[in-house]
Homo-oligomer: A and B are copies of this chain.
Amino acid sequence: MPVTAVLTSEEATGLLRGAGLRVTRQRVATLRALAVHRHATVDDIVTSLRDELPKVSFQAVYLVVADLLAAGLVSRLDLPGQASRYELERRDNHHHVMCTGCGRVEDVPCAVGAAPCLHPSDTHDMDIAVADVLFRGLCRDCRQRSAL
């Protein structure tokens, strides 16, 4: 279990400035929300922000995450049958496991060495930048439930 990470407003501000982005309440709050709630959907983020910014709109959060994504501060995680999720960019090339039963998502550190699977045998003349790996399986709870 990861200790709940905290990102101060000052740290979030620094990240935004460093990326050449204006510092707004919505952006700071979004970064801070993502530090705590990893793999958050836009809906999750809006919910987190309501305390601090009661009238924040979905549209605003969609724009914020799009900007943060373009700036490389967050990355997007697209899972089958779910809304897109966002996470703070950690530059550690980690992957994800998803339970096909309950949809739970967890991080997986890069398996062996630096970047497995980063060198496909035939790239169809494409210049590969990233490899996203998604492991799918059943978590313990769902296994027990289906064994009944």
- Residues of chain A whose beta carbon lies under 8 Å from any beta carbon of chain B: 76, 78-81, 84, 95, 97, 99-100, 106, 108-109, 111-112, 116-140, 143
Contact = CB atoms under 8 A, between A and B. Distances in A.
A97 B78 contact: no
A99 B80 CA distance: 19
- Copies assembled: 2
Contacts of A79: 78
A79 B80 CA distance: 8
A124 B106 contact: yes
A111 B120 CA distance: 5
B130 A136 contact: yes
Contacts of A109: 120-122
A89 to B, nearest CB: 15
A133 B136 contact: no
